Amino acid sequence: MYTRKIEPCPEGFVKAGKPVFGTFSGVPDRLDIRGVRNPYSSFHFLPPLVTNLRIKSRLSYFFTIGNYVGCIEFFDAKVFSFEELTFWEKSTKRRFVYRAIMGPRRRFIPHSLRSGFVKNNSARRYSRISWDKEHRKFSFIFRMAGSKTVPASNAAFISRMESEDVVSLSACNPSPTSRRCTARFMQTMPIHGALSVMEKNGVEKLMDDSEGLCFFDMARYYMKFYGAGEYLTGLGEVDGKNVSFRLDVSSQEAVDSYSYNSNVLFFGGRATPLPPVRITHNRGLMTTWNIQDTEGMVDLLFTPASDNHNLISTLILKTEYHTIYGSFEGVLLTADGTKIAFKSLDGIAKKYRIRL
């Protein structure tokens, strides 16, 4: 069976100008990859102050609670920042999408994982994700004004970090060569809260406070000028236990993806590193996806239900991506051989192409 060694978190992901590669347990104090020496071999004369500008950041928060499932993503490219909140009503597959573009700022996504926040403070698109390791709190709040195409909505989710179902994993991988790196922190947490929608006719769909689950992901990477990839996030409950996972295939992955990748399964309060996978959907994005590995630990089908397609094109950026809600069916294996089988687990797939 596939295994990837999990080591204690290092003091930093860059040491003496070189990335510290590996998979790590616990919560690092900082997610910072600045200071890599000569990350771009063709431009070895460039100082770190310049090459640091190629470091991009992404923060994601996936959730399932009550009759809703969705995600919010923040992308920090230094010259601008982008936010998109997408969620679906499970019973009807109705989609709600809210976007915002923010101008240049020194740093949108913080380095610290001890305490920090990401916030869009506009009047029409307010959102805030915050965490405080000392006080063991994690929260996500949003208030979105309505428009011609989407109603107003708001939500507040709180996680208490004392729960045994709070599990995390970090990784620092070659990206794709050993000169550059991608650092990632992932954490799954139970959530408590509610999400409400105000329809245009004045009818408000109120949710009582409910229990749910979230998957938090923060990544920093030395980005190439062109990038593409797909990743899938599943989360829910199987046999009375919380389960969540992330499976990723991208142009940023290491050449030796067997030794270095960020695929992970969280189940029963434990993290299982997963092997690299192959994702296929030969008949189109909205047909069944097949996800398999060569170790017998991942054998899944993803059935899409609703696609949010977006294209952004500016002077410095061109990106096309799909955010697809659907359900997983199949089998996953934990590191101790426990078989996790399910027929309908909430999932969100992402497919993207980006030029920056």
Mean pLDDT of 328-356: 94
pLDDT grade for 77, boundaries at 50, 70 and 90: confident
pLDDT of residue 230: 96
Residue 326 phi, psi dihedral angles, 5° rounding: -170, -160
Q: How far apart are CA 9 and CA 30, in angstroms?
A: 10
Residue 53: how many CB atoms within 10 A of its CB? 12
Mean pLDDT of 286-303: 97
Q: Which of 345, 198, 172 is nearest to 266 (CA)?
A: 345
Q: Which tokens sit at 103?
A: 């101008």
For the stretch 46-54, contacts whose Cβ atoms lie closer than 8 Å and that sit 24 or more positions apart, written own/partner, are 51/222, 53/78, 54/222, 54/223
Q: How far apart are CA 217 and CA 140, in angstroms?
A: 13
For the chain, the residue count is 356
Q: How far apart are CA 342 and CA 330, in angstroms?
A: 6
Classified as helix, coil or strand, 42 is helix
All residues at 6 or more sequence positions from 201 whose CB lies less than 8 Å from its CB, including other chains: none
Q: Reply yes or no on whether the pLDDT at 43 is more than 70.
A: no
pLDDT of residue 319: 83
DSSP per residue over 121-158, as a string?
Answer: E-SSEEEEEEEETTTTEEEEEEEE---SSS-EEEEEEE
Residue 51 phi, psi dihedral angles, 5° rounding: -65, -25
Mean pLDDT of 34-49: 77
Q: How far apart are CA 352 and CA 228, in angstroms?
A: 5
pLDDT grade for 54, boundaries at 50, 70 and 90: confident
Mean pLDDT of 280-292: 96
pLDDT grade for 102, boundaries at 50, 70 and 90: confident
What DSSP state is assigned to residue 219?
E
Of 180-184, 246-250, 256-260, 313-317, give the lowest mean pLDDT range.
Answer: 313-317
Q: Reply yes or no on whether the pLDDT at 178 is more than 80.
A: yes
Tell me, what amino acid is at 137?
A: K
All residues at 6 or more sequence positions from 45 whose CB lies less than 8 Å from its CB, including other chains: none
Number of H helices, E strands in the chain: 1, 25
Q: Which of 179, 177, 187 is nearest to 219 (CA)?
A: 187
Mean pLDDT of 332-340: 96
Q: Reply yes or no on whether the pLDDT at 175 is more than 80.
A: yes
For the chain, what percent of residues have pLDDT higher than 90?
74
Tell me, what amino acid is at 99?
A: R
CA angle 88, 190, 296 (to 5 degrees): 80
What DSSP state is assigned to residue 52?
G
Q: How far apart are CA 31 and CA 63, in angstroms?
A: 22
Q: Which domains does the chain have, with CATH numbers?
A: 6-355 (2.40.370.10)
To the nearest whole number, what is the mean pLDDT of the chain?
A: 92
Mean pLDDT of 41-68: 85
Of 27-36, 49-58, 301-310, give the lowest mean pLDDT range.
Answer: 49-58
Q: Reply yes or no on whether the pLDDT at 340 is more than 70.
A: yes
Q: Which of 324, 301, 322, 298 is nearest to 312 (CA)?
A: 322
Q: How far apart are CA 187 and CA 129, in angstroms?
A: 14
Residue 134 phi, psi dihedral angles, 5° rounding: -65, -40
Which helix (DSSP H) or strand (DSSP E) does residue 111 occupy? Answer: none
